[in-house]
């Protein structure tokens, strides 16, 4: 949780300095850098106390050299000086979230026991996006719930239709009517 808070500060600075196109390019670059942290050997280097922080910074700077961006280079140097290069995956995730929020483009998941065809998923995403004045894409995720659950993280939306809840509401309604 603390990493996300720190990453958010760095991303807010980037959003304040870079234009929309540069933000997209920076997001792509940080996404590639974040995948490097999935490699156990690379992660071992980044977490090692035996390797100087300056050497780690130089390694990352070499990875972003093709971008030829002084803002990115300065950010990497700042992260290195503060011993926060390990925050790169969190920065990548937060940057993607911030850009999505600015452009009102969100992703989410739809959970169900039974498989839902892609046209239905796209229809739900379109209708939900229209209602929320945003562009939403959903992906299917298998689940053990007895209904359908839609979650869109960036918008803090969670919609749940379950058989047990529906049965309880029908029962309650019938009992009130009697």
Over the stretch 50-78, which tens digit does the pLDDT of each residue have?
989 999 999 999 998 888 888 889 999 99
Q: Which of 100, 118, 138 represents a domain boundary (last residue)?
A: 100
- Shared domain check, 58 and 6: yes
- Does residue 112 sit in the same domain as residue 86? no
Measure Cα distances from 22 to 29, 95, 99, 122 in Å.
10, 12, 11, 30
Q: Is the dihedral of CA 46, 52, 53, 59 positive or negative?
A: negative
| Count of Cβ atoms closer than 10 Å to residue 112 Cβ | 19
Q: What is the pLDDT of residues 13-58, one digit of tens each?
A: 888 888 888 888 899 999 999 999 999 999 999 988 898 999 999 9
- Return the pLDDT at 60: 92
Judgement on whether residues 115 and 96 belong to the same structural domain of the protein: no
Question: pLDDT over 70 for what percent of the chain?
Answer: 99
What CATH number is attached to the domain comprising 118? 3.30.910
What CATH number did the domain enclosing 38 receive? Answer: 1.10.520.20
Q: Are residues 82 and 110 in the same domain?
A: no
Angstrom distance (rounded) from CA 178 to CA 172: 10
Calpha distance 27→131 (Å, rounded): 28
Structural domain boundaries enclosing 34:
2-100
Across 75-84, 107-116, 156-165, least confident range = 156-165
């Amino acid at each position: 949780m603390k990493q996300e808070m720190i990453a958010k500060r760095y991303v807010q600075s980037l959003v304040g300095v870079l234009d929309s196109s540069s933000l997209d390019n920076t997001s792509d670059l940080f996404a590639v850098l974040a995948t490097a942290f999935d490699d156990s050997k690379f992660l071992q280097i980044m977490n090692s106390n035996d390797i100087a922080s300056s050497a780690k910074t130089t390694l990352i700077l070499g990875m972003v050299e093709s971008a030829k961006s002084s803002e990115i280079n300065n950010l990497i140097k700042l992260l290195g000086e503060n011993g926060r290069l390990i925050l790169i995956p969190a920065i990548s995730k937060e940057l993607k979230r911030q850009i999505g929020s600015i452009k009102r483009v969100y992703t989410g998941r739809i959970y169900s026991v039974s498989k839902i065809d892609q046209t239905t998923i796209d229809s739900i995403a379109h209708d939900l996006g229209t209602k929320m004045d945003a562009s939403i894409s959903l992906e299917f995720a298998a689940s053990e719930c007895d209904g359908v659950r839609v979650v869109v993280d960036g918008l803090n939306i969670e919609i749940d239709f379950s058989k047990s809840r529906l049965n309880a509401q029908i029962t309650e309604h019938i009992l009130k009517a009697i």
